[in-house]
Amino acid sequence: MTYRGRFAPSPTGPLHYGSLVSALASWLDARAHRGAWLVRVEDIDGPRTVPGAAEDILATLERFGMLADEKPVWQSQRIARYEQVLEQLKSTGLVYPCGCTRKEIADSLLHAHARNTTLAYPGTCRAGLNGKPARAWRLRVPDGDAAVISFEDRWQGKQTQDLATEVGDFVLKRADGQWAYQLAVVVDDADAGITHIVRGADLMDSTARQIYLQRCLGVRTPQYLHVPVVTNDHGEKLSKQNGATALDSDKPLEALSAAARHLGLDLAGEAHTTLDRFYAAATSAWAKRMGINF
């Protein structure tokens, strides 16, 4: 197997400490496996994308010494491919159009809740739109045991999610015409031949959906590793939305050393003197921690 990993930032603002942790972990895992490390700009969420943020993130990664082994891929240039995959799923009957508004879903969930069932999409449009206009496209998830997806996370251990009761049929193309993250990420990782995904634990909850979609498309499931997310003083995930500040590009070693500590890597004093020394020490410490033969 040739290892291929990636870092997939959403350009909603400059690189911050929380996203640096994910970038560093994916970079170290690729280096420890002597594999390739790719970067993908996830810029298809129109309303959230900030002009110039992607270029800024790429420049910061470079200044921090993390260079992609191949030209970065931009999701905004892959729309035709997502369309093609949706058509493929339509032809096999695995997806259906959904006419529910957010309010209608919330209302039926309220009833479901009263009946003590779960908060998954109740499948209102499974059997047809009932005269409503199509808004979104959903992937049908199976009932019963077939809906239970388990995987071994390399950091967090065994994970299990019941798609039928915890998620329900999920959206691949949104009512506003945007492509859902779940579809784009699976198609892009498969097309890029990604073998290992290393990212923040806030995405753990999406992984079962992605594995199910991989099975529907007949593509390989990569190995997963979700690193603990960085939280702010209120215990919330650090994000551009709750005030995470941009990294100081003049002091990459300070931020990188803090990120390494967050990942539980104990580096000797001299690792903090140059970027080369930092990456050499951090790569072997990562390999040791993760049991990789380096």
Query: Contact between 5 and ligand GLU (CB under 6 A)?
Result: no
Closer CB to ligand GLU, residue 74 or residue 108? 74
* 209 near ligand GLU, rule: CB under 6 A: no
Q: Does 280 interact with ligand GLU (rule: CB under 6 A)?
A: no
For residue 53, the minimal CB distance to ligand GLU (Å) is 11
Indicate the SS3 state at residue 4: strand
Q: How far is the CB of 185 from ligand GLU (least distance, A)?
A: 5
Of the ranges 5-13, 78-86, 119-127, 136-144, which one interacts with ligand GLU (CB under 6 A)?
5-13
Burial of 111 (0-12, 13-18, 19+ CB in 10 A): exposed
Written as six digits, the tokens of 172 are: 């691949």
Site for ligand GLU in 31-70 (CB under 6 A): 42
- Residues within the annotated binding site for L-glutamate? 6-10, 42, 181, 199
C-beta of 9: minimal distance to ligand GLU in Å?
Answer: 5
> CA-CA distance, 176 to 100, in Å (whole number)?
13
Using the minimum distance from each CB to ligand GLU, give the nearer residue, 82 or 96: 82
DSSP assignment of 157-226, as one string? Answer: EEEEEEHHHHT-SEEEE-TTSPBPHHHHHHHHHHHTT--EEEEEGGGHHHHHHHHHHHHHHT-PPPEEEE
4 binds ligand GLU (CB under 6 A): no
Q: Verify binding: residue 203, ligand GLU, rule CB under 6 A.
A: yes
Asked if 177 contacts 223 with a C-beta cutoff of 8 angstroms, the reply is no
